[in-house]
Structures are given as C-alpha cells and as structure tokens.
C-alpha cells in the first residue's frame, strides 16, 4: 500500500464509534455501534450497512487481497441486520429509548472464492472498542413483524448470525406482550457459535410462551445431525409449542444460509428442499413483493 494518510481518512469517512465489542469465540462478534448522527427511525428486522476503508488492516491468516493503487482510499460496505441484546445489563427487557447504540452480530469470513476474497469482515475483526467505522444512514428492509397479530404463532428459524434480526423482533414481541407462541431455532456448527445462548436460556425461563431450540451439527458428542427443516418434518416444533402449525395464524421468519431457506429459483425448488419447500407443502405461502404471505425470509448471500 502506498502512503495514505490513514488518520485523516478515518476522520473524514467514519461517522460512528464501536462502544462495546464482545467475542463469544474468536470468529464471532457482537458489536455495539453509536452513530454521530441521530438514530434513524427503523423497525426491528431491518438492516443497514457497515463500512471500513480499504486502507484498514486485515485479520491475520485471512485470504490475501490485492488492492489496486486507485482503490486504496475506497470504502468497502456490507449489509448487516440490526440485532438486539434483548435484555439489558441488569437482566431486564432492554429499554430501547435509553440506548444510543445498535447491536450487530457478525461472523468472520476468512476465505471466499479464489477470485473474490472477503473484503469486509477480515477488516471488521481487527476493530477494538473505541474504534471508528462508517454506519449507513439508511435503515431499510421488508423483513419485519408487519401483519403479525397478538395471538399469532411466530417461528424464528435461522442459521448462524441469521438470528440477528430475529433477536430484535423477539425483543419487540416480548415488549408488546405478545400472547401467541414464539419459537426460536438456530442451527450452527458448534455450541460456541451460539452467541446469544445465555440470553435465550433466561428468556425461556421467564416467558412461558417462548421456546428456543439450538441445533449443532459438528459437535463430536452429538448424534444424528438435525437441520431446521427436520424440526418441521419430524413434528418437533409442534411438540415444543404444544399446538399444530396453523398457516392461518402462524408467521415464519427465515434468515441466514440460502440453502436452509430454499426459495424456488424460476419455479424450481432446491433438492434437498429448504424450509420454504417444506412449509409450502403444508399450506404456507411466501411473502414476496407482489404476494402477501406468512413465510418471510432474508438471505445473507
């Protein structure tokens, strides 16, 4: 890299501060970011962007990247769902009116395609509390609780950091005294990849209408691998919530790995099927730009 004035670039381009940073394991990060500007109005479930300059250092051991001289002062930005700790430091339901930060939940991508190294997370994972970055001013997205009625059943099904927007929506449901059943399930490789496990455990003890199903696929001690789709086909979700899955009173939220979601491409469903294929066979419909439905999804790539 040629000589660029890094302190000046950071001063000019960044508009937010990392006010808290917690790593449940070295490749997973819960990050609280306080903007210099008033917090934009938004709905739980929506996303914004985080940005860092190409001049920032990369995480040791991450895939090498060649930056052309002309790009050395450019920014790299990625979309991130807004997450939520749900509980405050005293263990009470978070009072959002008293916070001037938002939380993100991000996994480090060390390796991308040979021709496309991951540009953002290897830089993000070099940050420490007090460091600066760019926060997008536009908070947007249709992945929200719009249309959910107080007695509806709500399922939040995710892989990895896909639970981020679900946590914020869960906070909203609990804050407004949702009466229907709520179930969260998150599929990860190892137990250490469940960054909010402690919070969900507390919530399950406190809210009789909430259940949480963590799924791990690579722990040596685990038996048969169980994926999110299996929870539906085996009837485990219905067993957990204690009532049948009724499409007229249930909303399902899917977030994370596109294979888990399994939306059809040009009318063709993936094989093996994802959750969309399984649920459509049981009377659910996708929520799409021109079709209101009860399967809502957000793909991360």
Ligand X SMILES: Cc1cc2nc3c(=O)[nH]c(=O)nc-3n(C[C@H](O)[C@H](O)[C@H](O)COP(=O)(O)OP(=O)(O)OC[C@H]3O[C@@H](n4cnc5c(N)ncnc54)[C@H](O)[C@@H]3O)c2cc1C
Would you tell me which residues interact with ligand X (CB under 6 A)? 47, 78-81, 104-107, 109, 112, 116, 118-121, 160-161, 164, 298, 300-301
168 or 250, CB closer to ligand X? 168
Q: How far is the CB of 105 from ligand X (least distance, A)?
A: 5
Q: How far is the CB of 77 from ligand X (least distance, A)?
A: 9
55 or 300, CB closer to ligand X? 300
Q: How far is the CB of 31 from ligand X (least distance, A)?
A: 10
- Residues 6 or more apart whose Cβ sits within 8 Å of residue 233: 278
Dihedrals phi, psi of 286, to nearest 5 degrees = -75, 145
CB 67 within 8 A of CB 54: yes
160: left (phi over 0), alpha (psi -120 to 50) or beta: left
37 or 301, CB closer to ligand X? 301
180 or 195, CB closer to ligand X? 195
31 or 241, CB closer to ligand X? 31
Q: How far is the CB of 3 from ligand X (least distance, A)?
A: 25
CA distance 195 to 85: 10
CA distance 24 to 11: 30
Residue number closest to ligand X, CB atom: 118
Q: How far is the CB of 104 from ligand X (least distance, A)?
A: 6
DSSP string, 105-153: EEE-----BTTB---SHHHHTT--TT-EEEE-S--B-S-S-TT--TT-E
């Amino acid at each position: 890299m040629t000589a660029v004035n890094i302190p000046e670039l950071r001063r000019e381009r960044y508009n937010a501060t990392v006010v808290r940073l917690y790593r449940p394991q070295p490749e997973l990060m819960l990050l609280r970011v306080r903007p210099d500007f008033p917090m934009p109005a938004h709905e739980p479930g929506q996303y914004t962007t985080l940005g860092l300059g190409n001049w920032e250092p990369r995480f040791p051991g991450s895939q090498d990247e060649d930056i052309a001289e002309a790009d050395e002062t450019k920014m790299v930005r990625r979309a991130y769902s807004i997450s939520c700790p749900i509980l405050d430091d005293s263990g009470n339901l978070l009072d959002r009116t008293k916070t001037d930060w938002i939380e993100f939940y991000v996994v480090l991508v060390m390796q991308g395609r040979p021709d496309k190294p991951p540009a953002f997370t290897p830089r993000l994972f070099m940050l420490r509390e007090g460091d600066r970055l760019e926060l997008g001013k536009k908070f947007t997205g249709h992945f929200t609780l719009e249309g959910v009625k107080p007695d509806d059943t709500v399922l939040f099904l995710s892989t990895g950091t896909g639970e981020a927007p679900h946590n914020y929506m869960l906070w909203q449901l609990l804050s407004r005294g949702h009466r229907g059943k709520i179930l969260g399930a998150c599929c990860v490789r190892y137990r250490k990849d469940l960054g909010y496990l402690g919070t969900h455990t507390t919530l399950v003890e406190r809210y009789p209408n909430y259940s949480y199903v963590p799924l791990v696929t690579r722990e040596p001690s685990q038996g048969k691998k169980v994926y999110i789709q299996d929870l539906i086909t085996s009837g485990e979700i219905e067993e957990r919530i204690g009532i049948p899955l009724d499409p007229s009173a249930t909303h399902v939220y899917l977030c994370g790995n596109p294979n888990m979601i399994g939306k059809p491409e040009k009318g063709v469903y993936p094989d093996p099927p994802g959750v969309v294929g399984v649920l459509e066979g049981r009377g659910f419909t996708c929520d799409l730009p021109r079709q209101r439905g009860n399967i809502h999804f957000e793909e991360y790539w």
